[in-house]
Structure 1
Amino acid sequence: MDQGGAAHVFSVSAEIDDDHLRVVVTGEVDMATADTMFQTALREPATRVTLDLRAVTFFDSAAIHALVRLAGRYPDSLTVLPSRQVSRVLEIAGLAEQRWLSGK
């Protein structure tokens, strides 16, 4: 939580259009919320998945694990749109050059 600021509330939503699932995540993705993000991305059958993390403010190792699991489920059809914070965490974790990461 930011000092003196409001908590970054987690939310996740999914929208499917034909075979393309778009999952939008906001707030903090951590050990309490990472599995919800993961399960939401698996809820609808899809051949293409976009994980929109542009509004994510915190991303920890549990979130990285969920993301890597999703990449394994959708090896050629996952696109991740990262926030600045997510990009930095993935860079530190050695995942900045993954083909599923958009904007590299």
Structure 2
Amino acid sequence: MDQDDPESIFSATTSVAGDRLTVVVTGEVDMLTADGMFQAATDEDARAVTLDLRGVTFFDSAAIHTLIRLAERFPTALEVIASAQVRRVLDISGLSGQPWLVRRD
């Protein structure tokens, strides 16, 4: 993991439309950045959250734990759009069938 690589830089930007918060995450989501993703998704008073992970290049167990925490917080109102890398990790971890994981290829 090369921290000087531009793809490794983590960012989480938010936008709100009505009661839905959209969080666009890019770079690496790991034990150092997963809490930043959680904070971005829970800072607003939104009732629904879309987590756009199409720009994520690395996703580890801390990131998976954060997704589970978000699914618990928004049991019927979480939508996750995954990059190929994230989808592979979720497949391996047995989470690819979760209702919050949507396909947008």
Q: Same fold by TM (over 0.5)?
A: yes
- C-alpha offsets along residues 47-76 of structure 1, whole Å, 9 cap, x if unaligned? 111000000000000000001000000000
The reply on whether 1:58 has 2:52 as its aligned counterpart is no
Corresponding pairs, count: 102
Gaps spanning 5+ residues in structure 2: where? none
AA matched with 1:71: A
Moved over 2 A (4+): none
- Tell me how far 1:27 sits from its aligned partner: 0.3
Residue in structure 1 matched with residue 41 of structure 2 by the alignment? 41
Tell me, in whole angstroms, the C-alpha distance in 2 between the residues paired with 1:89 and 1:11: 20
Gaps spanning 5+ residues in structure 1: where? none
- C-alpha offsets along residues 3-25 of structure 1, whole Å, 9 cap, x if unaligned? xx824211011111110100000
TM-score, normalised relative to structure 1: 0.93
Tell me, in whole angstroms, the C-alpha distance in 2 between the residues paired with 1:94 and 1:66: 15
- Secondary structure of 1:89's counterpart equals helix
Identity across the alignment (%)? 59
Matches within 5 A, 1:15-26: 15-26=15-26
Tell me, in whole angstroms, the C-alpha distance in 2 between the residues paired with 1:12 and 1:48: 17
Tell me, in whole angstroms, the C-alpha distance in 2 between the residues paired with 1:48 and 1:26: 20
